[in-house]
Amino acid sequence: MKFEKKLVRGKLIKRYKRFLADVELENGEVVTAHCTNSGSMKSCIEEGAPVYLSPVDDPKRKTKFTWEMIYINGGWIGINTSVPNKIVYEWMKNGTLEDLKGYDIVRREVKFFDSRFDIYAENSSGEKCFVEVKNVTLKCGRFARFPDAVTKRGKKHLETLIKVKEAGMRAVMVYVIQRTDVDIFGPAWNIDPEYSETMLKAIEKGVEVIPVQVKVTPQSIDFYKILKLSPVKKDI
């Protein structure tokens, strides 16, 4: 995924009220950017660190920038939670991701039972597939972990994916890891044990979990590799 507009560089002053971040631009101007990430952002917040913002032209928006990424631990970390959905949709349309290629119909935001999933797809063989996408930024040693805060909504998505599988359709959870300084993925047992247990149950029931690592730069966000999945609690 290439950024449509040239990003604006600055340095983080502070993040506050979950959805706001003050940033000092290179010309010295201080602006307030929208932060799409509602989680704790543990391990990807560092005041004074370089950041990039995307400019927003919408006159209805109070903030004229969206915070896209931050430079920590020698690399860029993508923090915009709306980006992974776009990336996975693009991959499925283009056949980029081997595990999710071969679909003729790919739609976004489709409801099943009481959940709305990020992507729904069908192929010529009649296979139906529901895909939920999550953004991952939490680093714990070598591990990327999700979530970084308790998520009842995320647990519900896993539970509904189990229903999708039980209904005879393909059910997939894609975790997009927007940092390259980790090489294993697993649930954050110490942060949300209920979600973690539900992930294990979902895997046992046949829900596919695909942890995809991407390389984030100020120009684009691109597929990097599939990470090893280690969902068991002993790895903490």
- Residue 1 within any structural domain of the chain: no
pLDDT digits (tens, 9 = 90+) for 62-76: 999 999 999 999 999
Provide, rounded to the nearest whole percent, the portion of the chain with pLDDT above 70. Answer: 99
**Does residue 113 sit in the same domain as residue 65?**
no
CA 111 remoteness from chain centre: 20
**Does residue 181 sit in the same domain as residue 168?**
yes
Out of 78, 98, 117, a domain closes at 78
**Does residue 51 sit in the same domain as residue 158?**
no
**Does residue 201 sit in the same domain as residue 99?**
yes
**Does residue 121 sit in the same domain as residue 211?**
yes
pLDDT of residue 99: 93
- For the entire predicted model, the pTM comes to 0.94
Out of 47, 78, 109, a domain closes at 78
Q: Taking the alpha carbons of 164, 146, 118, 183 in that order, is the dihedral positive or negative?
A: negative
pLDDT digits (tens, 9 = 90+) for 139-173: 999 999 999 999 999 999 999 999 999 999 999 99
**Does residue 39 sit in the same domain as residue 20?**
yes
Cβ distance 106 to 93 under 8 Å?
yes
pLDDT of residue 83: 95
| Dist. CA 137–CA 129, nearest whole Å | 26
pLDDT digits (tens, 9 = 90+) for 93-108: 999 899 999 999 999 9
pLDDT digits (tens, 9 = 90+) for 93-147: 999 899 999 999 999 999 888 888 999 999 999 999 999 999 999 999 999 999 9
Provide, rounded to the nearest whole percent, the portion of the chain with pLDDT above 90. Answer: 89
**Does residue 91 sit in the same domain as residue 20?**
no
| Dist. CA 142–CA 140, nearest whole Å | 6
**Does residue 55 sit in the same domain as residue 117?**
no
Does position 28 have pLDDT exceeding 90, yes or no? yes
pLDDT of residue 114: 81
Domain range holding 50?
8-78
Indicate the number of domains in the chain: 2
pLDDT digits (tens, 9 = 90+) for 14-23: 999 999 999 9
- Residue 26 within any structural domain of the chain: yes
CA gyration radius for the chain?
18
Does position 234 have pLDDT exceeding 90, yes or no? no
DSSP string covering 177-198: E--SS--EEEE-TTT-HHHHHH
| Dist. CA 163–CA 178, nearest whole Å | 29
